[in-house]
Structure 1
Amino acid sequence: MNSNCTVGLPGYTVKKYKQNHRQPRIGSSPTINLLKSSILVSFSGALRIHIAFLLLHIQSVFLNCLAGGLIIYAVYTLDRAMDAEEDIANRPELKGASRKTALIISLICFLAGAAILTANGLILIAFLPLITGYLYSKGARIGKFNLKLKGGLGMKNLVVGITWGAFIAGIAGIYATGLFAPAIVFLYFGLKLFINSAIYDFKDIKGDTLAGLKTIPVVLGQKKAKIMLLSLHTLSHIILLMSIITGILAFEPIILGYSFIIGLLYIKNFAEPVEVETKNRLARRLFMIDGESTTIVGLRTIASGLIV
């Protein structure tokens, strides 16, 4: 599913096409670019798990957050190492990277994260991203029925949202007394990650169009796709607000408020195609989208210190 916050599904490949646009100047080796490209999204994912603990009013388990971050890093790095052909246009800085090195690092990170989660009774959650990734790219045949998730408008975004929403809510929710609160956390993060993955599809319109991929912005167009994302964003935060008011989730105004405002801002600013992304736009995008959970945790820590 690519947090960047987007596909992250191993084996996502399409028909090859020729690259005819100018290559950007690359400062470091493609392998280094590949290995560091998933660090921010994995750190952000680990903090999302921490935020899930906060919403559920449960003491955060550091090792579980760390394990989740390691697995997220492994899956995203593996996805990018598979050299999906649309990435030739969308991420030329990764072209020529050592797939073997990426696979080894990904395996080590995944096994470390899976071992921690398995020790805490979360073996199914640990392998969930790989299972859905396989079903997405390869499918599974049961008699005459072929279960394959790949294909269809928004299917990639739906798989991203469901997989990582369940991953985050599952890691924190195992300690909850009931299922209703974790289900709301799953819905919140599932919708948020669905939206984020669709936003990255706007940036990748050129490569996706050349590859023949039917992404939401390619099929619906920029205006309708943006309206859809704004509607889903508003819905998810109304549900979150009502859950806090009714006491189902913990009173976390900073999480609710910042998530709602920053979401509106990054949908407005980044749900649009861009031919060449400037360094300034890249920095703003990384801060607003991938850095959202980091900012929330930082603001909450400062507020807690002031209150005390």
Structure 2
Amino acid sequence: MSRKQHCRAALSGDSTWFVAQLARAKHLWTVLLYSSAYLSVVTVIEVGIAMAVLSLPLSPAPAVVGLITFAVYANDRIADVDDDAVDKPEQAAFVRRHEDVLYVAAALAYGLAIALAMLGGPLALALALLPGAFWVLYASDWLPQLGSRFCRLKDVLVVNTAVVALAWAVSLTFLPVAFADGGVTPAVALVFAYFFLRSFVDTELPNVRDREGDREAGVRTLPVVLGLERTRLVLYAVDAITAAVLAYALAAGYLSVSVALALGVGLVYSLVVTSLLARYADRAWLTVAPELEYVVVGAVLSLVALG
């Protein structure tokens, strides 16, 4: 074999290896996306942000919330697989194909989360159980017993998003506080308000892509009821309230300038994503993009800490 042929063979081999790695990476991302596992990684970062802002010691709290997130959203994907087939057929097909595995994995994840939460005492255990209880109230057909014309909290405009935002804001804020045996201070209340407002936006933005399936299922979300432009204005308003909360926290001395800057950068990122809402309403990335706000915030906080 000539030198030229040898080089071509080497390049061909390198190219084949690179293509294979890309295929593996794509497959891994598909599993993380469709199973909801990527959300677990994001919530671990969120809890880390809360702990950094509140100067809390290291604890199992990030692992607990990450495991709970996977369990709740994996079960939600299984429960909503028929509705998701309208707007997200590939995800629905994945869930149907791996339903048994997802169900077992979700059960094991929640069980492990509860076991870890017990290390933090009764309050941490109660907070770990809370998201599961919220999900049952959110997704199950219990409202008719109360004489309501709605079947689930999930069907009720604004209430559906507020319930999800409340469940995660409580877990993200108070679980690490419980592990640290801390109390509810003004700083903790402000962090809770921040996560509630951010979770509201993070929940409604993916609803943009799901609007056709939600409309058919009778789920009243902002994009279904108000349309895309009015939904964008509402989310701008929530972002504005978040900015006001951060400004107050900074002025009152509950946030340092560097932390406020990191959270502010994340807020700017959110505003950019919201501004693209109507133009890219049916793109798959609109489901993932809102959650990446915390990756941005975590990266900025890490740079500040290193600098």
Class of the TM-score when normalised by the shorter of the 2 chains: 0.7 to 0.9
Aligned equivalent of 1:131, options 130, 133, 151 = 133
CA contact (8 A) 2:265 2:297 kept: yes
Does 1 or 2 have the higher relative contact order (CA < 8 Å, sep 6+)? 1
Structure 1 spans left out of the alignment, 5+ residues: 1-26
Kindly indicate whether residue 303 of structure 2 is the aligned counterpart of residue 302 of structure 1.
Answer: yes
Q: Partner residue of 1:164?
A: 168
Q: Partner residue of 2:158?
A: 154
Aligned CA distance change for structure 1 residues 201 and 116 (closer, same or farther; 3 Å) = same
Q: Kindly provide the amino acid, as one letter, of the partner of residue 68 in structure 1.
A: V
How many residue pairs align between the two structures?
A: 270
Give the superposition deviation at 1:228. 0.9
Distance 2:278 2:177 in 1: 31
Q: Kindly provide the amino acid, as one letter, of the partner of residue 259 in structure 1.
A: G
Distance 2:188 2:69 in 1: 20
CA contact (8 A) 1:201 1:215 kept: yes
Kindly indicate whether residue 63 of structure 2 is the aligned counterpart of residue 66 of structure 1.
Answer: yes
Q: Partner residue of 1:3?
A: none
Give the superposition deviation at 1:80. 0.6
Distance 1:134 1:264 in 2: 32
For residues 141-178 of structure 1, give each alpha carbon's deviation from its aligned partner in whole angstroms, at most 9, with x where no partner exists: 8x978896343212221111111011111112323343
Superposed CA RMSD in Å reads: 2.7
Aligned CA distance change for structure 1 residues 214 and 119 (closer, same or farther; 3 Å) = same
Give the superposition deviation at 1:250. 4.6
The normalised TM-score by structure 1 is 0.78
Identity of aligned residues (%): 23
Aligned CA distance change for structure 1 residues 274 and 229 (closer, same or farther; 3 Å) = closer
More helix by share: 2
Structure 1 range deviating more: 172-181 or 232-241: 172-181
User: Secondary structure at 1:270's aligned position in 2?
Assistant: coil
Aligned CA distance change for structure 1 residues 300 and 243 (closer, same or farther; 3 Å) = same
Aligned CA distance change for structure 1 residues 82 and 41 (closer, same or farther; 3 Å) = same
Aligned CA distance change for structure 1 residues 254 and 162 (closer, same or farther; 3 Å) = same
Q: Kindly provide the amino acid, as one letter, of the partner of residue 205 in structure 1.
A: R
Aligned equivalent of 2:85, options 88, 93, 96 = 88
Distance 2:219 2:78 in 1: 19
Q: Partner residue of 1:23?
A: none
Give the superposition deviation at 1:127. 0.8
Q: Partner residue of 1:4?
A: none
Distance 1:250 1:132 in 2: 33
Structure 1 range deviating more: 110-119 or 293-302: 293-302
Q: Partner residue of 1:50?
A: 48
Aligned CA distance change for structure 1 residues 253 and 179 (closer, same or farther; 3 Å) = closer
The normalised TM-score by structure 2 is 0.79
Structure 2 spans left out of the alignment, 5+ residues: 1-25
User: Secondary structure at 1:193's aligned position in 2?
Assistant: helix
